[in-house]
Amino acid sequence: MAIARHMVKVNGVRRTVKADGDMPLLWALRDHLNLTGSKYGCGAGLCGACTVHVDGRATRSCQVRLADTAKKTITTIEGLSKDGTHPLQKAWIEHDVPQCGYCQAGHLMQAADLLQRVKAPSDADIDEAFRGLVCRCGTQPRIKKAVLAVAKAGARK
C-alpha cells in the first residue's frame, strides 16, 4: 500500500486526500472527505448507487481509482446544489420518488448527466441512461416522470 497525498477538486473545492492511489474514489469521498451521499452498492459498477460526475459525466465512483482523478473535476450529490433546490431534487419530491433513499443520489446524478446531454429525452433515452441502475423500492416509473417533468420545464443547472 503506497500512501500519498492526492489533490482532488470536489464540488468546486480543491481538497487533499492522504491515501493509497488505488483506493476507489467512492471510499476517498466517503471515508476521507466525509461526503457520504454516494453509496456503496455492489462494488462492481453495476448498481449505480455510487454515481458521481467526473468531468461532467455520470461515473461509477467505485470503479475509479483515486490516483486517476488528479486533473479531473468531481461533483457529488452534495455538490448538485447547496440547499436541495436543484430542479431534479425538487422534481424527486414533487413526484414522490424517494422511498428508502439508498439509490437516490446515484439516480439524481445519472438524471443530471442525461439532462445535460439530451435537452428533451424520450422514454427510450431515459431507459437507456438508467439501464442497470438499481432501485429495489420500484420507483423507476416515478423517476422517469420526474426526469421528464424537468426536461419539459427546461430547468437545468
Q: Tell me: do 34 and 54 sit in the same domain.
A: yes
pLDDT at residue 135, rounded to an integer = 87
Q: Are residues 59 and 91 in the same domain?
A: no
Same domain (yes/no): 61, 98: no
For 99, the grid coordinates are 422511498
Crossing angle (nearest 10°) for helices 140-153 and 104-117: 40
Q: Are 25 and 64 in contact (CB under 8 A)?
A: yes
Q: Are residues 8 and 74 in the same domain?
A: yes
Split at pLDDT 50, 70, 90, the class of 1 is low
pLDDT, one tens digit per residue, over 30-54 is 999 999 999 999 999 999 999 999 9
56 and 123 in a single domain? The answer is no
The DSSP secondary structure of 130-152, one letter per residue, reads TTT---TT--HHHHHHHHHHHHH
Which range of residues forms the domain containing residue 31?
Answer: 3-78
Domain boundary among 78, 100, 127: 78
Does residue 156 surpass a pLDDT of 80? no
Cell of 20: 493509497
What's 15's domain CATH number?
A: 3.10.20.30
**pLDDT at position 99:** 86
Average predicted confidence (pLDDT) for the chain = 94
Pair (7, 74) in one structural domain: yes
pLDDT tens per residue, range 56-106: 999 999 999 999 999 999 999 999 998 989 999 999 999 999 888 889 999
pLDDT at residue 141 in the model: 93
State which amino acid sits at residue 78.
E
Higher pLDDT, 156 or 101: 101
Q: How many domains does the chain have?
A: 2
**Domain final residue, candidates 55, 78, 101:** 78
pLDDT of 108 > 70? The answer is yes
Query: What average pLDDT does range 124-142 have in this prediction?
Result: 91
